[in-house]
Structure 1
Amino acid sequence: MKLLVDSGSTKADWIAIDDNGKVIFTTQSLGLNPEVLEEEEIINRLDNKFDISHNKDKATHLFFYGAGCGTDRMKDFLTSVFKKYFTKAIVSVYEDTYAAAFGTTPRGEQAIVCILGTGSNCSYFDGKVLHQKVQSLGYIAMDDGSGNRFGRHLLRGYYFNKMPMDLAKEFEEEYNLEPDYIKHNLYKEPNPNAYLATFAKFLIKHKDNDYCKKIIQDEMKDFVENYILQFENCHDVLVHFVGSIAFYLKDELEVALEKYDIKVGNVLRRPIDGLIAYHVLNK
């Protein structure tokens, strides 16, 4: 049994397949980002999902694609944790961009592959290897166009009294905006980036509001200029996207890229289904 996992900071999609790609089970756990979680919390999140804990000794391979796995240190840390848990499995840990690359180009086509979800990322896929021009410094310093950036804009706009009054009133009704509650989630709870990203749903809901529209346009512009335009061939290959932000703001994304003569390819909410095709084709 092979376990395929696509993990962001917020959630992780799990699919167990046999050698022919037949699905044995699917489930979802909380995200397993090694940049923000300790070993104990990772184990707790695995134990809390029956399908995972009940089948951990049946897994022969674990292919984990995750946010926060962009450095050897984080890959080694997570590999060690998984080997302790899935004792009979061969463990392979990749950064989440590889899930996006394999999921959007299962036959190995050259493309630029972007992630726009809780966080953001962008790489050139040559058909085998991913090449990055920008080393991520995490959600505080980077993540242009991401859910957590949108959440940051909304909170700042609300507290600096920049948000239109009618929008602010609805924002208050939908979220707990008590300062102590917000600061607790930002500084005391795990995954503050995922907490910030929860506000993106509000932005998407009101994407036609001029205030929200400007936030979206500015972030899309920053993502294109700071990430995609780093690659000289960005006008020659398709640019694929994976992630909930890209999926729900696809129209806005296409408009933003059209201004730079960049062609949008596949836009997937999640790459997990494409990963099945990839692992069947590349046994």
Structure 2
Amino acid sequence: MILIADGGSTKADWIAINKDKTEAFRVRTLGLNPEVNSTKELTDRIIHMYQLINIKDDVEEIYFYGAGCGTPVAIKILQDVLESIFTNAKVFVAEDMLAAVYAASGKAPAIVCILGTGSNSCYFDGENLHMKTVSLGYIVMDEASGNHFGKILLKEYFYGKMPKRIATKFEAEFNLDADFVKKNLYREQNPNMYLATFAQFMFAFKEDKYIKRIIKKGFQEFFKYRVLPFEKGRETPLYFIGSIAYYFRDLLEKVAQKNNLTVTDVIQRPIDNLLAYHRSHI
């Protein structure tokens, strides 16, 4: 049996396939990011999913593509965790950008971007990924991501810059007690996921001018730092992966046009495309 996983910071989608390429089952766990989750937390999130544990001795290969898996140290952490659970499996771990490329363009050259809980981008030349910069994560980078917009909404609210019509609904949706917010930001696990929950609030107000302004500004920052440096034109396919890109596709396309680029496609969850890619390579 083979396991294929697309792991973000918030959630990880798993598909188990049999040797004859038929799908056995699919399941979703909490995110598995070795940069923000402890080894114990990574292990617990897998072993508490009974569908995975029930087949742990039958798994022969694992292909895990995950957020936070962009450095050798992080890859080794997650690889060790997976090998300790699936003791008969050969484990391959790579960054989520590679899964995004396989899901979006397959083997064709393209710029591929992720806009989910975090954000990232690469240029794929048909064989290799090219990154303009190493991602330093949610505190320093992650432009236009869920946690990026969550930080903006919190600042706008606490500085009194959020319009009353939005602030009232924001207060009704979240616990905005300052001590509670700070506890989740500085003392709890996964502050990036916590910040991204605030961004989900924007989905219901995507037509509001205030929200549109925030989104467009964030997208422009992303293009400035993560897309334009590749110096590619409209002839290069441009793909986006993730819920932020999916729910705000109309604004994303407008910002792309402003920068003389065209969005080729937006994929909310890449797992099905990733499955198709692996089926063709088994």
TM-score (norm 1): 0.97
Cα distance, 1:16–1:234 mapped onto 2, change above 3 Å: farther
Work out the CA distance in 1 between the residues paired with 2:263 and 2:22: 31
Tell me if structure 1 keeps the 8 A contact 2:103–2:270: yes
Given that 2:148 and 2:196 are in contact with CA atoms closer than 8 Å, whether structure 1 keeps it comes out as yes
- Percent same amino acid among aligned pairs? 46
Give 2:157's aligned residue.
Answer: 158
Give the Å deviation of 1:76: 1.3
The aligned residue for residue 66 of structure 1 is 66
**In the TM superposition, what whole-angstrom CA distance separates every residue of 1:140-162 from its partner, at most 9, and x where no partner exists?**
10000100011001100000000
CA offset at residue 234 of structure 1? 4.2
Q: Which amino acid counterpart does residue 236 of structure 1 have in structure 2?
A: E
CA deviation vs aligned residue, 1:137-187 (integer Å, no higher than 9, x gap): 110100001000110011000000000112101100011111111111111
Q: Who is 1:263 aligned against?
A: 262
CA distance in 2, matches of 1:37, 1:27: 20
| Residues 28-57 of structure 1 deviation map (CA, whole Å, 9 limit, x = unaligned) | 000000001111111111111110111111
The residue number in structure 1 matching 2:144 is: 145
Matched-pair contact (CA < 8 Å) for 1:121–1:143 = yes
Answer whether contact 2:150 2:196 (CA < 8 A) is retained. Answer: yes
Aligned to 1:227: 226
**Aligned residues of 2:150 and 2:198 also touching (Cα < 8 A):** yes
C-alpha RMSD of matched pairs (Å):
1.0
Q: CA deviation at 1:20?
A: 3.8
- 1:102 equivalent to 2:98? Answer no
Pairs within 5 Å for 1:1-283: 1-106=1-106, 108-283=107-282
Distance in 2 separating the partners of 1:171 and 1:214: 17
Change (3 A) 1:94 1:192: same
Secondary structure, in 3 states, of the residue corresponding to 1:62? Answer: strand
Paired residue type of 2:125: D
The residue type equivalent to 2:168 in the other structure is: K
Task: Indicate conservation of the 8 Å contact 1:228/1:234, yes or no.
Answer: no
Stretches of structure 2 that go unaligned for 5 or more consecutive residues are none
* TM-superposed deviation, 1:222: 0.3
Q: Deviations over 1:232-257 (max 9, x none)?
A: 22433111011010111111110110
Q: How many residues are matched?
A: 282
Give the whole-Å Cα distance in 1 for the aligned partners of 2:140 and 2:72.
21
CA distance in 2, matches of 1:248, 1:58: 38
Asked if the contact 1:21–1:277 (Cα under 8 Å) also holds between the matched residues in 2, the reply is: no
- 2:267 maps to a residue whose letter is L
Are the equivalent residues in 1 in contact too, given 2:63–2:91 (CA < 8 A)? yes
Please state how far the C-alpha of 1:5 moved relative to its aligned partner: 0.5
Q: CA deviation at 1:204?
A: 2.1
CA deviations on 1:231-282 (whole Å, 9 max, x unpaired) are 0224331110110101111111101101111121121111100111111112
Alpha-carbon distance in structure 2 between the residues aligned to 1:204 and 1:220: 15
Question: Which 5+ residue runs of structure 1 have no aligned equivalent?
Answer: none
Any idea what the Cα deviations from partners look like across 1:187-246, whole Å, max 9, x if unmatched?
122110011001111112112222111110100000011110010224331110110101
Q: Runs of 4 or more off by more than 6 Å in structure 1?
A: none
Secondary structure in 2 matching 1:145: coil
